[in-house]
Amino acid sequence: MNASAAISELVIANRIIAHLRLVDSFGHVTVRNPENPARFFMSRARAPGLVTKEDILEFNLDSTPIDLRGLRPYSERFIHGCLYKSRPDVMAICHNHAHELLPLAVTKTVMRPALHSAAVIGHEVPVWDIRDRFGDTNMLVTTNEMGDSLASTVGKGKAALMRGHGSVIVGKTVQDAVFTTFYLRLNAEVLIKAKSMGETITYLSPGEIDRSGELHTQPDAQGRAWEDWCSQAGVAKPSRK
């Protein structure tokens, strides 16, 4: 995949995450430049549902823009730059405030997968609390120091909840990042309802997480969802591989 194809897929991903309500007017998805791993693509500051090719900007891994073309960047681009820097295996990232997962993001409870399709979130999703290290802030990740702290909480994992704010998810591809975001939210919804009943929850075992997680990161599984979401969101499906 070249840079141009990556940008096209990024635009589609923006439409999909808006259509699936994984984001509201805020949140963002990015992709590493496949032609230059020291850079990544991200829309200008705009609601994801409205993003077009003309909105895409390029950034260095310290989140400085290559050429703003007079547009305004997202102030939280540091989330992305710092994660691309710390995780060479990561090719795409989604930051969101999906409404249904927020009830878990206002607690300090580590999330674990209880659904086979949610095995893609990994063994544990930690909660990053910006206040722990940075005290009272406006809650946004607006410096490399903050981004590095968040990246350190994500560690080698797939995601982190951000206390009082939302979540961040990393992926091997744009499709992987969106897929993981979708099933992270579903896992949250299911846990919230199950906990409300007060019944004992059976989580996936470590072995199940590994095996089901591997299965659900295959292009076969993720491509099936992607084709469906492209159709639902009314966007053309890019030819895969």
- Would you tell me which residues interact with its own copies (CB under 8 A)? 24-26, 45-47, 49-50, 72, 97, 99, 102-104, 106-109, 114-117, 119, 129, 131, 135-140, 163-165, 186, 189-208, 210-212, 214-215, 220-221, 224-225, 227-229, 231-232
In angstroms, the CA 104 to CA 196 distance is 12
Shortest Cβ distance from residue 166 to its own copies (Å)?
8
Helix (H, G, I), strand (E, B) or coil at 167: strand
Given the residues 9, 35, 76, 145, select the one marked as catalytic. 76
| Residue whose CB is less far from its own copies, 119 or 170 | 119
Beta strands per DSSP E along the chain? 28-32, 39-43, 56-60, 92-96, 127-128, 159-162, 166-171
Hunting for tokens 């990561």 — which residue is that? 90
The sheet that has 159-162: what strands, in order across it? 56-60, 39-43, 28-32, 92-96, 166-171, 159-162, 127-128
Residues 140, 76: contact at Cβ < 8 Å?
yes
Label residue 108 exposed, middle or buried (CB < 10 Å: 0-12, 13-18, 19+): exposed
The two structure tokens encoding residue 87: 């995780």
The identity of residue 86, as a single letter, is: S
Shortest Cβ distance from residue 87 to its own copies (Å)?
25
Assess whether 76 carries a catalytic annotation.
yes
| Residue whose CB is less far from its own copies, 34 or 73 | 73
Label residue 197 exposed, middle or buried (CB < 10 Å: 0-12, 13-18, 19+): exposed
186: left (phi over 0), alpha (psi -120 to 50) or beta: alpha
The residues annotated as belonging to the active site are 76
